[in-house]
Amino acid sequence: MTTSTRTIAELDAGQTIQAYEVMRELRPHLTDPDEFVELVRAQRREGYRLVVSYEADRVVSLAGFRHLNSLYAGSHLYIDDLSTLPDARGKGHAGALLRWVDEEARRLGCVGVHLDSGTPRHDAHRLYLASGFVIPAFHFAKSL
């Protein structure tokens, strides 16, 4: 998908490194680019995919997602990661990626798209709500 200011494309395994800078905005604990590529390689074996938004030839936004099946949600795409570089925010990149993921979910016969979002990410929440997401539950986690 291409507009006058952006191109949306899925990255293959050899292109993963292109997403590193954008992923660091969301996951600052990922401090080693080679480790990032290895982690994504492992996730790809579990169905993880990366789609990005380019501004010119620079990746400025990304969505990482998986196709899952569950008893509570049926067949759905789960967005693990959605991130945009600060200087590219407000230009529609994340919204375009969400629309791309919606279309991919439809293509795959999914009944929905799911994601979790950290509680202080109010700008992201506004985008999700404006994009048709609802808040049907709380997410609980326990560290071991």
Q: CA 144 to CA 134: how far, in whole Å?
A: 30
What's the pLDDT tens digit per position in 97-141?
999 999 999 999 999 999 999 999 999 999 999 999 999 999 899
What's the pLDDT tens digit per position in 65-97?
999 999 999 999 999 999 999 999 999 999 999
Instruction: Flag whether pLDDT at 1 surpasses 90.
Output: no
Provide the CATH topology of domain 7-130.
Aminopeptidase (3.40.630)
What's the pLDDT tens digit per position in 3-60?
557 899 999 999 999 999 999 999 999 999 999 999 999 999 999 999 999 999 999 9
Q: Where are the domains of the chain?
A: 7-130
pLDDT at 5: 76
Q: What is the pTM of this model?
A: 0.93
Q: CA 5 to CA 2: how far, in whole Å?
A: 8
Contact of 73 with 114, CB cutoff 8 Å: yes
